[in-house]
Amino acid sequence: VSGTRNFTPWTYWRLRLDETDVEDPCPLEDLGAVAEWRERAHARLEALLAPWPRAVPPDLEIGEAETLEPGVTSRRVVFDVEAHMSVPARLLVPAERSEPGPAVLAIHGHGLDKDALCGDDGGDPLRREAIESNNGAYALALARAGYVVLAADLRTFGERADRMLPPVDPHDENAEIARHHLDCDYNLVCASLLGEHPLTQNLWDLRRCLEVLSDHPLVDATRIGVAGWSYGGALALFLAAIDERVRAAVVSCYFSSLRASHALPWNICGSQMLPGLLRQLEHVDLAALVAPRALLVESAQSDYMFPADVARREFARLVPLYEHLGAPDALVHDVFDGPHRWNGAAVDPFLARTL
């Protein structure tokens, strides 16, 4: 009798995923072949993401300006993205902004929302702790630095949360994670019934956010960046890969590899997946689709979800590509001491140069 039989899916999937390779990876060791690869890879990414939702007129509503803090105003923004779905967001404008200039679309991490991005804890000390421990108020930090910033709730978070589980003990971090994952799981189940993907739907919403920013009188549509941490970093990387309107991307605590980031049971949820993705495009391949546009990767030394050593190895492979494309300064890696959280130390100089 074999002593190596396995009966459980988790072990089964570890073994299956470990023996699966990207079938047509970016030829980073043969840079002359990259141009043709990019066309193939871009078509593959479009095919993986399909079908996209059907567009509707946004019917944009912009609320009254409130002072978020001295020097930064916040407005509530709501718009339609498809039949039966609208997006709530916050638009931050630095008080000194008087003519069109650079803007950033800020994307929140898993379990957080647009208000956390703006440093708004709603008077809840637990939320304050969550925002501070993740250094998560980076929409506010970007507005302080002079950027017009749009921060939207992703599907199943903030005002868009279904809350399929009854309220859990807010001090029980694992219960909170389970609650968010159930919302994502149910969203994935329903999307799968129609052959659609939550990742595509969130990217669709974020692309509409780019249009809201582009149309704003104080935004130069050629100077728009994206910035996201963790789950928001995943969406920032995909968005920059698929949409050339993104001039600069800050991808914090995500870039490493699909394989490495799947080594924890609850790390990645169905909202971040596309069927067959691992055979088609790794993180480094998505980054190669962003090149030569500006890309700042943040990696935490103590990030056990998106390991820094994997990030370093994969990032190093991108350096010759950016040099080959004549944009060596557009690629920056900030590896910082600490756990899985937004860092921000390299963001201001990076965006000042590239936006």
Residues that bind Zn ion (CB under 5 A): 184, 269, 271
Residue 67's φ and ψ, nearest 5 degrees, are: -80, 110
Which residues lie across from 111 on neighbouring strands? Answer: none
The number of beta carbons lying within 10 Å of the beta carbon of residue 23 is 10
Please say which residue, 271 or 280, places its beta carbon nearer to Zn ion. 271
Minimum CB–partner distance for residue 267 and Zn ion (Å): 10
Residue of 200, 294, 322, 312 lying closest to 257 (CA atoms): 312
Q: How far is the CB of 309 from Zn ion (least distance, A)?
A: 25
Cβ at position 102, least distance to Zn ion in Å: 30
Q: Is the CB of residue 100 less than 8 Å from the CB of residue 195?
A: no
Instruction: Tell the smallest beta-carbon distance from residue 99 to Zn ion (Å).
Output: 39
Give the C-alpha separation, 225 to 320, whole Å.
Answer: 23
Contact 139, 118 (CB under 8 A): yes
Q: Cβ closer to Zn ion: 110 or 293?
A: 110
Task: Give the nearer residue to Zn ion in terms of CB position, either 230 or 343.
Answer: 230
- Minimum separation from the CB atom of position 221 to Zn ion (A): 31
Nearer Cβ to Zn ion, position 156 or 343? 156
CA distance 262 to 125: 32
Q: How far is the CB of 300 from Zn ion (least distance, A)?
A: 20
- CB-nearer residue toward Zn ion: 110 or 333: 110
Which structure tokens are listed for 141?
């930090």
Nearer to Zn ion, 74 or 271 (CB): 271
Q: Residue 319: phi, psi to the nearest 5?
A: -60, -50
The answer to whether 241 touches 290, Cβ cutoff 8 Å, is yes
* Shortest spacing between CB 121 and Zn ion, in angstroms: 22
CA pair distance 199, 195, nearest whole angstrom? 12
CB of 301 to Zn ion, least distance (A): 25
- CB closer to Zn ion, 118 vs 184: 184
CB 280 within 8 A of CB 22: yes
* 353, amino acid identity: R
- From the CB of 199, what's the least distance to Zn ion, in Å? 10
As measured in angstroms, the least distance from the Cβ of 169 to Zn ion is 20
Strand partners, 302: none
Closer of 253 and 355 to Zn ion (Cβ): 253
* Closest by Cα among 324, 328, 303, 308 to 33: 324
Tokens for 178, please give them.
């389970």
Is the CB of residue 349 less than 8 Å from the CB of residue 335?
Answer: no
* Dist. CA 10–CA 241, nearest whole Å: 30
Three-state SS letters, 1-29: CCCCCCCCHHHHHHHHHHCCCCCCCCCCC
Give the separation between CA 121 and CA 118, rounded to whole angstroms: 9
